[in-house]
Homo-oligomer: A and B are copies of this chain.
Amino acid sequence: MSAPKDDRKTEDGEAVRLAQALRRDSVFFHKNEALIDALAGGGRIMTCAKGQVLFMQDDVAGWFYVVESGWVKIFRETLDGDEVITDVLPAGSMFGETAIFSNSTYAGCAEIIEPATIHVYPLPVLGAAVRRDPSLALAMLEHVCRQNSAQALEIEHRSVQNAAQRVGCFLLKLCGEYREGHVTLHLPYDKTVVAARLGMQPETFSRALSRLQADTGLRVKGASITIDDLDILIRYTCSACSNAFPCEDH
């Protein structure tokens, strides 16, 4: 197992941070303080270097994760050996939690792509709670249905959005709570990973980013992207989508 719980007792400060992350970043733990305490008590905080692998596809799933800082890529390998990046996760993202319903194995591999602080929680504790508490099962069902909607939207975008709009949509997801005005975002340093996440070649991604700069006025400086007027980007991107911004599926 890639993220074993170590034997030393989790320090109080760590448990507090672990609990806070669950309260902040997930909807389906809402108000379930006993469960949050159990997950935080059995969890740990890992400092991860670039390249570190958290789990491999089909590994037996013992943990789920929340990104405190850094970036994580989720990918799968085809039988031919090609790597397919299915997600690139920023701070605040939870992953691995749905493995409790997939034969308890992970559906993809998870690898650190920028130095990261990762919260690790015991999956069996969550699994037992969901099986015991019908209201938690329903909350998790809604959570998974929202993921379903987000994926359906992604498939839609690959049909109708041009490359610049797809990059725009990726940036809008990163805006989180910011819904108007001026925003500065930080992408992972390695843009080829973001390109792969969006299903495009690196050179297509570069052209799309240039086009976005010309068409919406956003500014790119290294890994930082500054959006002076979010509304222009929203109009540009969301016209080729069946959802209106801000969309619940993000």
Residues of A that sit less than 8 Å from B by CB? 57, 76-80, 82, 84-86, 98, 101-102, 107-108, 130-131, 134, 137-138, 140-142, 144-145, 147-149, 151-152, 154-156, 158-160, 196, 199, 238-242, 244
B82–A240 touching, CB < 8 Å: yes
The answer for the CA separation of A63 and B239 in the assembled complex, in Å, is 30
Chain B residues, CB < 8 A from A239: 78-80
Q: How far is the CB of A167 from chain B (nearest CB, A)?
A: 16
* Contact residues of A: prevailing secondary structure: helix
B151–A148 touching, CB < 8 Å: yes
Residue pairs across A and B with Cβ atoms less than 8 A apart, 9 shown, are A57-B242, A78-B156, A80-B240, A84-B156, A84-B159, A130-B138, A137-B137, A141-B141, A151-B154
Chain B residues, CB < 8 A from A101: 141-142, 145
Chain B residues, CB < 8 A from A151: 148, 151-152, 154-155
Report the 9 A-B pairs with minimum CB-CB distance, sorted nearest first. Answer: A76-B242, A151-B151, A101-B145, A134-B134, A137-B137, A159-B199, A84-B156, A144-B144, A80-B239
Closest partner residue, chain B, to A154 (CB atom): B155
A155–B155 touching, CB < 8 Å: yes
A155–B152 touching, CB < 8 Å: no
